[in-house]
Amino acid sequence: MEEAQRQLLQRSRVRLVEKLQVEPLWDLLVHREIFTQDMIEEIQRAGTRRDQARQLITDLQTRGKAALPTFIWCLRKTGQEDLAILLSEGCNRPQLQPVHIESNVVHSHAGQIDPGVETSEYLPSPAQERFQEPSCETTEGPVEKRTSRNDDMVYVLNSDPCGYCLIINNVTFSKESGLSTRTGSDVDCKRLEERFGSLHFQVLTRRNLTRQEIIRELQQLAGQDHRSLDCCLVVILSHGCQTRHNQFPGGILGTDGKPIAVEKIVSCFDGSHCPPLRGKPKLFFIQACGGEQKDRGFEVEVDPSVNQQHGSTLDSDATPFQIAAGDSDQPDAIAILPTPSDILVSYSTFPGFVSWRDKSSGSWYVETLDDILGKFARSEDLLVMLTRVQNSISAKDKYKQMPGNFNFLRKKFFFKAR
């Protein structure tokens, strides 16, 4: 679907959710090959009629160029002429040109398909060549696009704010935990508050949370009304540890020294626990150690100017933590997740290795991430920028650090940069 068509659906979203009768549409949408039966059943599981309407509008934006004209046709076939007019008037050509076709279906009162009726309609059958649909440019003029974007493979961010950004910043840990103060983490936190605020996120910051408090904050965020938002972002700045895992390695520690597996953090926002975010990108940035190994790297020919000497100000977020076999927290580390989709977890370091933080300037990872976002968020997608982060950090200091990510996004993600 073209960007102008997506924006038209977004502008009409409130009216569509309020008025759209979804039940009569299902068979027509399957017959016209806009959705498969499995896709329809997934939308139907969204909940109430309004929830199904929201999900239908969201999923419709992921379909091809013919999706919107076909949807308008389906609205007319099901007697929802006012909504059809609403969407048609958003296009340069207010009506699709009628094409005389041999159609196998008409719509019955029960929303089923009746065979064997010849009619003149606005849409050919799937077996025929697709019609020439309107460009759906708005009356405000063409929508500016980045040349690197492929419309069908880019997440749509039209809402403002585009989503919530929760930053959990653990600096001071309990005496009983035996963990050091994370000096420099407040610098990281301030950077990210400003950066993600400028990228149209509603930023929520929480400081010095125990394990249970972190879980509560994550659950509260997952329970927020995300229906009118387009994505969600979580940042965790804390000490870290290794855990057993199925998909997402590593864990972070609350200020009481108790671990939370990254898998558990991510699962709070999956399709089972947070249906309003289904199909929308969910991004996680973890500044914490993945273990205790210190990477000294290997020798290559490099420009010595790229190495920085931090001296005694350099610290790590590693902690000598091991989970006992009978520990009651162990299920958190091995929780089985549904098949992940629309999820990206960015780690500050390779699993098993420490993550370096300067006591005065903050962590290497956050400092570099903030710099790259500032320079390239207007032109590059997230994965390209994270590759830049990895390349930059890999050249630092006598100790080495290699960030990475687990990517389950289905499309490219571009921030909503000002």
Q: What are phi and psi of 236, to 5 degrees?
A: -125, 125
Rounded to 10°, the helix 49-60/67-77 angle is: 150
Active-site option among 162, 165, 268, 289: 289
Instruction: Give every CB contact of residue 339 below 8 A, 6+ residues apart in sequence.
Output: none
Exactly one of 74, 239, 274, 310 is catalytic; name it. 239
Could you tell me what percent of the chain has a pLDDT over 70?
69
Active site residue 165: no
- Distance between CA atoms of residues 92 and 70, nearest Å: 16
Instruction: Note whether 202 and 161 are within 8 A (CB).
Output: yes
Who contacts 370 (Cβ-Cβ below 8 Å, separation ≥6)? 191, 192, 195
Could you read off the pLDDT of 284-298 as tens digits, one per residue? 999 986 444 443 333
Q: 235 φ, ψ to 5°?
A: -120, 130
Query: How far, in Å, CA of 394 to CA of 376, rounded?
Result: 19
Helix (H) or strand (E) holding 8: helix 3-11
Q: Is 232 a catalytic residue?
A: no
Task: Sketch the domain layout of the chain as residue ranges.
Answer: 3-116, 163-296+306-408
Domain boundaries 3-116, CATH class: mainly alpha
pLDDT digits (tens, 9 = 90+) for 313-337: 556 554 433 333 333 332 223 233 3
- Nearest to residue 134, comparing CAs of 97, 170, 100? 97
Q: What is the pLDDT of residue 386?
A: 96
pLDDT band at 398 (very low <50, low <70, confident <90, very high): low
CATH architecture, domain defined by 163-296+306-408 = 3-Layer(aba) Sandwich (3.40)
- For 75, the token pair is 């609205």
Does this model's pTM top 0.75? My answer is no
Both tokens of 50, joined, read 């309004």
Question: Could you tell me the sign of the dihedral formed by the alpha carbons of 376, 381, 384, 388, in that order?
Answer: positive
The pLDDT of residue 59: 85
Tens of pLDDT, residue by residue over 259-318, are 999 999 999 998 888 989 999 999 999 998 644 444 333 333 444 443 444 444 556 554
Res 197: pLDDT? 96
Query: Are the C-beta atoms of residues 181 and 237 closer than 8 Å to each other?
Result: no
Each residue of 217-275: pLDDT tens digit? 999 999 999 999 999 999 999 998 877 767 788 899 999 999 999 999 999 998 888 98
